[in-house]
Amino acid sequence: MTNGSGDLHVLSAGALTTVQDLGRPGYAHLGVPRAGALDPAALRLANRLVGNPEDAAGLEITLTGCALRLTRAATVAVTGAETDVRIGPRPGDTGRPLAVPAGAVLRVGPARRGVRSWLAVSGGIDVPPVLGSRATDTLSGLGPPPLRDGDRLPLGAPTGPPPGVDLTVTPPPAEELRLVVRLGPRQDWFTSAALDRLLGTPYTVSSLSNRVGARLAGAALPRAVTGELPSEGIVLGAVQVPADGQPLVFLADHPTTGGYPVIGVVDDVTPLAQARPGTTVRFHGPQR
């Protein structure tokens, strides 16, 4: 699919590259999660660096990188994970505007630290919106499918010049995450020992984590109530505890309802976007 503003040809899609913007909030009552970039601030920054509106659609690139060819000259920016960027034979920096000539190959290398990078292109990725968003939702299937080798994505017309900035600095991913969690709504379904374990012992990020949720491994959280719970609403950051007692923190592509009890809700899940398997996670209550 192409348009008058050129397109982006996917030469190598990598492990998981998806189109993302700031998501489609406001549809949970219809069973539609927000989706969108796992680190919205990183996508906003990339868009600002190329002169796009902050809610323009870009690419979220997971772990192994990708290779792309642009059919028109454009300004691009890559934010997020520590990675190498090349425009043809020329190296480029993350966190700054980069000029890409028409026909040049843009390569985003594997992440050396962190997991995900966000790529913005001047004009944005101009795939058709679904419910007001161009975001790929990997759980429901809304939006464009994950990229495959050979795909072509239309580019919109640039709307403004890149800002006068040489470089932005992104803090490196933390080796240990400390997440603020607010207990409820079903903390009474768990024993006092479970609450002590949640707030007092470390967990590690499992390799089974994805855009739906970060699965954690550590001390099991025993229940005080063993009955079945009717499905109820799930929000971003909900810490659900399945039958094995291992907590699961829901991320952008989470389901809108679930039948396992939610012991608490994490205030800010953004750090989990860059958490590799094995990363230590500690929960603590809000400061008073």
Closest to 195 in 3D by CA, of 242, 247, 230, 236: 247
Site of tokens 């520590």:
82
Closest to 236 in 3D by CA, of 25, 16, 56, 20: 25
Delimit the CATH 2.40.100.10 region(s) of the chain: 176-284
In this predicted structure, the answer to whether residue 1 has a pLDDT above a threshold of 80 is no
User: CA-CA distance, 79 to 94, in Å (whole number)?
Assistant: 6
State pLDDT tens for residues 66-105: 999 999 999 999 999 999 999 999 999 999 999 999 999 9
Report, as an integer, the average pLDDT of 188-205.
98
Mean pLDDT of all residues in the chain? 95
- How many CA within 13 A on the CB side of residue 142? 22
In this predicted structure, the answer to whether residue 2 has a pLDDT above a threshold of 80 is no
Taking the model in full, what pTM does it have? 0.95
Architecture of the domain whose range is 176-284: Beta Barrel (2.40)
What does the pLDDT read at residue 212?
A: 98
What does the pLDDT read at residue 162?
A: 83
